Amino acid sequence: MRKKWLFALNGGLEMMFLIFSPHHGSQSKIICKLMNPLVSIGIPIYNVESYIQRCAKSLFEQTYDNIEYIFVNDYTPDKSVNILQDLLDEYPNRKKQTIILHNTKNLGLSTTRNIAIDSMTGQFVMWVDSDDFIEPDMVEKLIIAQSSNDADIVTCNVVVDMPKNVTRIMKSPVYNSAHDMTIQLLRMSVPVSVWARLIRLNLYKSHHVKSIDGINNAEDYQVMPRLAYYAKCVTNIPDALYHYNCQNQASYTASYSVKQSEQVISSVHFLESFFKDKGREYIDALGYAKMQILARDLVKCCRFSLKAHYYRTLQIVKQMDPKYKRSLSIPFRLIFMMPEYYTAKIYVMLASLFKK
């Protein structure tokens, strides 16, 4: 018995040496074996047959093993699901870890994410949009960062893939605390996306955090500030591990309409209701974000010839505290000084030409 105890003690000391030794090249692998939580990856599917194979391959070829994949087919009209099912045959081990759920009608991104959350059993969740893809060691690196300080949310940098093979890096800021992250998310001074993050699933389930069914624009914005509010510890890593596809013209972010604009404002109102009794700083952060959203809406109204919506948006601006305009850039402030639609339309056209 004494020999077994000594063996266990020596083995434990040796493991500690391997983990903390700066000269050992496989520290991360050891940590991953010691800290091996199940990661649930949620992937909504809709009209992505040109991208789903690239996305799924990047998921199935992860260096981290303990993953469950929750694909939700949002009644896609194309062959996306067939392509996914054919690809799964090439990854028999991952096939065992994969669940494909099927909506009986198109429910939209918010409801589809909610359905995925209800089916997840992991300790952590990651979101990957099915027209995007990730680096092969993304899950592993996020888990290592999470384990170093028991973080509830880990964020990484993003590679933005733009038309004509142009890429840029979207860097995640270093948050001082979960409170700091919440304020920055509410102000929209940082990316509000749920993807490019590792999130403790319990933040969703214990606090009943869900997207509003049917409100598909700014659905990330409805969720991320609340998750950060409930988090105790957040961290980020400087690696660019998520590839955000800005080439898909069928995506939610590639178009604009009055309905989309109204859904974004509905998301803001939802957050105003949630944070109304939690401190003035949260309400102010939302006020700055709302003013920024309205300014951008005015510009888009001019570009897409939405005259009636332009005047409705101006009326909302007039009801807000003028102090929220101070954080806007001068070009956006100027548009508030143009009560006439056609004057604003000429201004936006000239500003666009000058920008080019």
Q: Where are the domains of the chain?
A: 12-18+26-252, 256-355
What count of other Cβ atoms lies within 10 Å of the Cβ of residue 269?
A: 12
**Residues 184-212: b if buried by 16+ CB within 10 A, e if exposed:** bbbbbebbbbbbbbbbbbebbeeeebbbb
Residue 337's pLDDT is 86
Rg (CA), the chain: 23
Lookup result for tokens 């570009």:
303
Lookup result for tokens 């939302």:
286
HEC sequence for 217-278:
CCHHHHHHHHHHHHCCCEEEEEEEEEEEECCCCCCHHHCCCHHHHHHHHHHHHHHHHHHCCC
The tens-digit pLDDT sequence of the chain (356 residues) is 433 333 333 333 333 333 344 444 455 555 555 569 999 999 999 999 999 999 999 999 999 999 999 999 999 999 999 999 999 999 999 999 999 999 999 999 999 999 999 999 999 999 999 999 999 999 999 999 999 999 999 999 999 999 888 899 999 889 999 999 999 999 999 999 999 999 999 999 999 999 999 999 999 999 999 999 999 999 999 999 999 998 765 554 456 889 999 999 999 999 999 999 999 999 999 999 999 999 999 999 999 999 999 999 999 999 999 999 988 999 899 998 888 999 999 999 988 776 65
Non-local (6+) Cβ contacts of 34 within 8 A are 15, 19, 147
CA distances from 51 to 45, 56, 58, 262, 347 (A): 10, 9, 11, 29, 38
39 touches 154 (CB < 8 A) = no
CA distance 38 to 163: 35
In a 13 Å sphere around the CA of 157, the CA atoms on its Cβ side amount to 13
Residue 315's pLDDT is 93
Residue 351's pLDDT is 83
**Residues 312-328: b if buried by 16+ CB within 10 A, e if exposed:** ebbeebeeeeeebbeeb
CATH number of 12-18+26-252: 3.90.550.10
CA distance 29 to 147: 12
